[in-house]
Structure 1
Amino acid sequence: MQLIWLDNSPCSAHMKSKLFELNPTAQFYTDLNRCITSIKSIKDEQILLIVSLTLTKNILCQIHSYHLLMSVFIFCSNINEYQKLELMNEYKKINQIYSDNELLIESIQQTINIIEQQILSFNVFNPNKDYTNDLSKSSASFIWYQILIDILKQIPDNEQINKKIYENYNEFYKNEMNQLKKDYTKEKAIQLFNEKTSIHKILNKTLRTKNIEFIYLFQYFIIDLYDQIQYEKESCENSEILKVYYGKRMLNIELDQLKKHIGYYIAPNGFLSVSFDKNKSIESAKTEILSDGYQSTLFQFEINPKCQQVTFVEIYDKQELLFNIDTIFKIHSINFDSSIQLWQINLINDDIGKNKIQTYFQSIKKFRYENSFLIFFGHLLNELDQLQQSEIYFHILLESLSSNHEDIASIYNQIGNFIADKGQLKLALENYQRAYEIRCQRLPNDHPHISISLNNIGLIYKDEGKLDDALSYCQKALTIDEINYPKDHVLKAMTIENIGGIYKEKYLFSIAQTYFLRALNMYKSALPPNHHFLTDILNSLGKVYCDQGYYDRALTCYQKAFATSEINYTDDHLQKAQTIENIGLLYKTNGMLQKSLEELLRALDMYQRIYFNEHHDIARCFGHIGLVYEASNDLDFALNYFNKQLNMDEKCLSNDHPNIQIDIQWIIDIYKKQEQFKKAFEFCQKKFLEKKNLLGENHPMTLTIFMMMIDLCEDFNVKSNYYKQALSIHESLIPFDPHATIRCLDTMINFYYKTNAVEEALSYQIKMVDLERQVLTDDHINLALSLQRLGQIYETLSKTDEAKICYTESRTMFEKYEHNQSNIESSDRKSSSESNAYQEEKELNFTKSRICVLQ
């Protein structure tokens, strides 16, 4: 349950205190748009909104239909009956309009009490499916709760972690935790859970939302409660079949899903309290608080106490049973009972379900080459799109486990994944290399986990543009995979896919295509039909077809990818959004700009529903929409979306992420097209100063933006001095980056040559050739082109002898290159290849390299 307050004026301290008592995580807003953004970011909690009359229509016209908004309370000092009636008729979720704060608080309390009884939900597990790696969200959640206690018992209690988490929470939570620990004993766990309403609510909310920090804080209590229920069940002598009930309002879509799963197993997402009183449960199911889109449902449990796999304790004073968190039930039947006007869901218990789950655990462990359910538990959070909770979990493991724990390398590897996703490549590489070093020390040279580390290091090098290094690491990984998996295997297919991605970045599209096709066929062989992995590889294959101009083939791949994601995910999903985005970009490539815009806006809507707040996927989609507007010559719209992209990337990515540099360049390009050169220069200068303050003058990102700024400068002398300053900084970098220095020199030479400062151009061209001789092979195409340009400059200055020497050496290099490569381009290759690479970056269809997350 989430309580949200909205008013133009700040909430009073007294009212804040009262609302915190009702809901410790209550949020308070004075800004309408921020409030709406927060509400739309909530994915798995019911919402109660308290809003002033002045803002009621402004917010309800935008969020009234949101299915998680349960009830709206309006406060107003003065309103006539006609206005009140009109407003409540228009917006059915309005509970009432209050002028008295005490009545408002009392009404909110009553509503919370009713909804709290409705909150618990169930996760479904298909016992007849061969899962391997094919988990639905419901199944992943089901498994997560089944292994939670075992995981908590493996994680050492760490006082420093507890203290750090404790300090981050408000006074209400601190007081509750202090009260719980006061005179606490293990034997009191069941009593405290039933008598302390606040602890009951906090604990079940913590479990329901999978709040890892709070689960860690309550670790001792959750384990004790579980063990005590287990102990009470073992001492239970009752052998009669027990009938108990649980009434709730259920969303139509949830009920429809359950109807499709008769015979499947379900489990609650917390400690489930059920009643012996059927009438009381029916009354709870028929509450009018939840109306639109909900059905009254009565869960009827028939429990055989002799069954070893169901554990519970009877709460006699409440006439209730309290089930343990890992108790599972089988859906026996679902039917509408017209006599009581509600849906009845009949559940039974048996010992078969637990056995099937254990069989599944063994198959998933074998498939993923898992050594530990500690790691698998965190991966399940990834499957559930709980990436923040997963990251917190792995950091807790890193801090609480000993440095020689068997899973420590896998933890570094997983943390590297999170950091890489944020664009912090250097830090991600450090974590991957740490994992690799530990694995090399502890494992055989051909162990699958070493292959995974090699893959991840290779993918970082790929993202850094070090493609030869990337290829070397991934090819070493493939060698190990060939040893471990002589036949088709998913992990080998992943490595092959990664190699294909590297060849794509090297613009060797036909080779990339070969690898992607090989990976696709291997996935088809090793996985069930329509497995979600096929979506990614089909997107990658579609991209290389697009790169080669095979647009029909590309569209076919994207359509197959989308159809596969539709089978796996009925709701919004990242793979769906990415595929729609790719289709939109393909339409742009074909000049179908209106269709492109429609698909990209559709993808954007899905991204915004998927992510809680800002995310670089949303930012990238903003940029692609901007590209369509740019192609349509709607430059103001393009500028607007490029600014949105930059603003979001600056919030989501590291300060030196290469995407930010591209975002800045796109905005400058629009200003240039609008002939607003002064604005372009001022914008670039602003970004240069920002990066200089954040990263330092000598940082490559700062230097790159400085070079952009120089390009926009119109005064020859100022521009020349800036260039010399930039070159001086490049030459003093530690460690020295010769390639960045060569790029700087190349830009300077073009400037001086075009402005007839040929002597200056000559001095820098000589310097560039000398540097390239140090870092390039003697038959490298770029060195040949540089010598050719040096000859042209000598020729312009009438220094024919020097020009002839340069031309002769250049021609020899071209002949060597032609012999070695069987492919030589025109003398414009160097400058055009850079231009093409930049354009390729602008037109890039989105395909995400999969960083192996298995261990």
Structure 2
Amino acid sequence: MASKISASNSRDLQPVETLKNKENTRLIWLDGNIDDSKDSMHTQNLLLEFNPAAQFYTDSTRCVDFVKSIQGEQILLIISGALARDVLPQISRVRSVIAVFIFCRNREFHVKLMSEYSKIVDIFIVQDELLRLLRDTMTIVEKQAFTFSLFDQTQKSTRDLSKDSASFLWNQLLLYVLKKMPQDDQAKNEMLTTCSNYYAMNKKELNKIEQFRKSYSREQAIKWYTDECFLYKLLNNAIRTEDIDLLYAFRFYTIDLCHALEKESEKLKTGGVLKLYRGQHIPNGEFEKLRKATGTLISTNGFLSTSRSIDVALGFIRQLPVNDDMKLCIFEINADPNVTAVVFADIDKYSKMQGEQEVLFGLNSTFKIDHVKMEKKLNVWKIGLSTTAEGSTRIEQYMKLQEDQLQLISPLVSFGCLLLNELGQIERAKCYFSKLLHSLPSDHPDISSIQNNLGNVYSAKDELNLALKYYEDAYRKRRSTLSENHPLIAGSLHNIGLIYKDKGDFDRALDYLHQSLAIDEKNYPGDHSSKAITLQNIGLAYQSKGDIDSALAWLKRAFHMYTRVLPAPHPYIASALGNLG
């Protein structure tokens, strides 16, 4: 069912009342004369077609409060001449405001404001001219949407990663998981329904969505991306903001686009290293991180558009207002087609904008920062990057450590496990697993794993009764579908035992943990990391019970088994050593 979006219910809202923006840009119109008159409603509806999350304000205080509340979006502000002098001083230093358009009846009266506030694009008295430049600016801003993650190679444990390094790992693993998800009509329809609901007020996008539904084939994936329609805007923003719901909904198309780029990239293998460029406005804080990170790995959060022409790259950054909050930068990328871990393809022939000489990098693209220096002739900062396979190597190391667990769960489930177990993002994991539980049929083979992981979520939140409920649901499901000595049966018994330990029922906890160990012994007669985990938790249960001698014996067994099966240093070994005091 389509979302109920209208101009009248998008007016003078508090931040918590506004529609979640699924695009990179947000339009805001501030004018004391906005009302329900025919002309005013026509303009409001046009702006809603540009951006479904557009907001309209007659109250300047509410508008300023909303502007200051926005994070992670780029604001294009249309403001009446009558309110400009009062509001501009309050928002001119707000980083998210990147462009201001003054709409008034007397251009000359307000023109001197352009020399005072660098974010003003122009002053308009004709609505059509305003809308035309507004649309062009939105297109440029969408192309400028860009975030990156730096990877600190000294950090060993994924749970202890910095925010940047965790995002780096997330982006590297995202493609691995997505490629293993099923591509079927259900996935396609889910994506199109999500898009139709969001663009319910936009006839142009709804027509595009219907065209996609009727005529799309995977051979057209790149062409659809270059069309800069709903796919381009929603997909890149979903990846950039790590929007779980949208990423899951877009799995159908994302996989096609990645495969299409891989196929197209083969055509560059016989050539040499390409020199590619991307113009970028980078916030001062982000720029400083880059400048201090020479030699570090960087991963782009999304598909990255570049050009063979430095003039094209420069043209993009010079079409937007320049302000003191940003640095004008050119990324100069040495792209080696023989670094197979980084996929890039020449897509100029697919593009509607011929002549931009566009080369598109796929997900998982990792670069090394070679240098950051001022290019005085061009008056821009030049950031030198080189493609590298080091990001792929890091993922291979991670996958090797997780190999046993990954064999027991499907890609659908592993996506949520990444969030919960490796990145520690509990609420996002809860959202993801809850969505799966309510969308999949009750006899789906992944249901028990989803229930088990919801148990993990609630255990992490210390909501023990809910955790126990989901663990027991998973256990019952597994007993009805799996052999009695299946490793997942052992996993369920183990988890139930841990909950009883945390609830203080140590005898019951030990009963479940010993049942789990008995199955582990049958599945893994020798040393194994899963068995070592069970040994350790039996020891901790005895410790909590006050039986220190038994605890020490079990904890020593766990420690020695860890040292035999895991590489040093490893967080499990460190944890086991810590338990021994």
Normalising by structure 1, report the TM-score: 0.50
- Tell me which residue corresponds to 2:72: 44
Contact 2:173 2:395 in 1 (8 A): no
Residues 530, 283 of structure 1: alpha-carbon distance in 2 compared, 3 angstrom cutoff? farther
Q: How does 1:74-223 map to 2 (within 5 A)?
A: 74-77=102-105, 81=109, 85=112, 92-127=118-153, 129-156=155-182, 157=184, 158=186, 161=190, 165=194, 168-171=197-200, 172=202, 173-223=205-255
| Residue 26 of structure 1, aligned match among 54, 61, 65 | 54
Q: How does 1:346-365 map to 2 (within 5 A)?
A: 346-363=384-401
Contact 2:149 2:300 in 1 (8 A): yes
Residues 28, 489 of structure 1: alpha-carbon distance in 2 compared, 3 angstrom cutoff? farther
Contact 2:60 2:87 in 1 (8 A): yes
Contact 1:251 1:294 in 2 (8 A): yes
Contact 1:132 1:363 in 2 (8 A): no
Paired residues in the alignment total 504
Give the structure with the higher percent strand. Answer: 2
Residues 239, 39 of structure 1: alpha-carbon distance in 2 compared, 3 angstrom cutoff? same
Contact 2:236 2:303 in 1 (8 A): yes
Letter in 2 for 1:170: Y
Displacement after TM superposition at 1:321 (Å): 1.0
Give the structure with the higher percent helix. Answer: 1
Contact 2:280 2:329 in 1 (8 A): yes
For residues 28 and 381 of structure 1, the distance between their equivalents in structure 2, rounded to whole angstroms, comes to 36
Displacement after TM superposition at 1:328 (Å): 2.0
Q: CA RMSD in A?
A: 4.7
- Tell me which residue corresponds to 1:66: 94
Q: Secondary structure at the match of 1:308?
A: coil
Displacement after TM superposition at 1:406 (Å): 6.3
- Tell me which residue corresponds to 2:272: 240
Q: Does 1:393 align with 2:432?
A: yes
Displacement after TM superposition at 1:253 (Å): 1.6
For residues 41 and 56 of structure 2, the distance between their equivalents in structure 1, rounded to whole angstroms, comes to 11
Letter in 2 for 1:434: D
**Which region of structure 1 is more displaced relative to structure 2, 251-260 or 443-452?**
443-452
Displacement after TM superposition at 1:231 (Å): 1.2
Residues 472, 137 of structure 1: alpha-carbon distance in 2 compared, 3 angstrom cutoff? farther
Residues 456, 403 of structure 1: alpha-carbon distance in 2 compared, 3 angstrom cutoff? farther
- Tell me which residue corresponds to 1:268: 300
Cα deviation, 1:286-307, whole Å, max 9, x if unaligned, reads 5552422211211111122233
| Residue 5 of structure 1, aligned match among 29, 40, 58 | 29
Displacement after TM superposition at 1:246 (Å): 0.7
Displacement after TM superposition at 1:64 (Å): 4.3
- Tell me which residue corresponds to 1:649: none
- Tell me which residue corresponds to 2:3: none
Displacement after TM superposition at 1:499 (Å): 7.0
Displacement after TM superposition at 1:101 (Å): 2.6
Q: How does 1:705-716 map to 2 (within 5 A)?
A: none
Residues 359, 103 of structure 1: alpha-carbon distance in 2 compared, 3 angstrom cutoff? same
Letter in 1 for 2:162: S
Cα deviation, 1:476-523, whole Å, max 9, x if unaligned, reads 677789997898999859978x979xx9xxxxxxxxxxxxxx9xxx9x
- Structure having greater relative contact order (Cα 8 Å, sep ≥ 6): 2
**Which region of structure 1 is more displaced relative to structure 2, 167-176 or 305-314?**
167-176
Displacement after TM superposition at 1:244 (Å): 0.9
Displacement after TM superposition at 1:112 (Å): 1.9
Displacement after TM superposition at 1:206 (Å): 3.0
| Residue 303 of structure 1, aligned match among 316, 330, 335 | 335
Of all paired residues, the percent bearing the same amino acid is 32
Q: Does 1:344 align with 2:382?
A: yes
| Residue 325 of structure 2, aligned match among 264, 282, 293 | 293
For residues 104 and 402 of structure 1, the distance between their equivalents in structure 2, rounded to whole angstroms, comes to 50
Cα deviation, 1:115-153, whole Å, max 9, x if unaligned, reads 223212222234454234222322332233333344334
Letter in 1 for 2:472: Q
For residues 319 and 46 of structure 1, the distance between their equivalents in structure 2, rounded to whole angstroms, comes to 26
Letter in 2 for 1:121: T
Contact 2:334 2:386 in 1 (8 A): yes
Residues 266, 445 of structure 1: alpha-carbon distance in 2 compared, 3 angstrom cutoff? closer
For residues 58 and 471 of structure 2, the distance between their equivalents in structure 1, rounded to whole angstroms, comes to 44
Cα deviation, 1:76-105, whole Å, max 9, x if unaligned, reads 446873x664x6676553444544332332
Q: Secondary structure at the match of 2:160?
A: coil
Q: Does 1:332 align with 2:370?
A: yes
- Tell me which residue corresponds to 2:309: 277
Cα deviation, 1:643-678, whole Å, max 9, x if unaligned, reads xxxxxxxxxxxxxxxxxxxxxxxxxxxxxxxxxxxx
Structure 2 unpaired stretches of 5+: 1-24, 349-353, 521-528, 547-554, 560-568
Letter in 2 for 1:138: D
Cα deviation, 1:377-417, whole Å, max 9, x if unaligned, reads 33554677976654443244335656566653342244456
- Tell me which residue corresponds to 1:703: none
Displacement after TM superposition at 1:23 (Å): 2.4
Q: How does 1:396-407 map to 2 (within 5 A)?
A: 396-399=435-438, 407=446
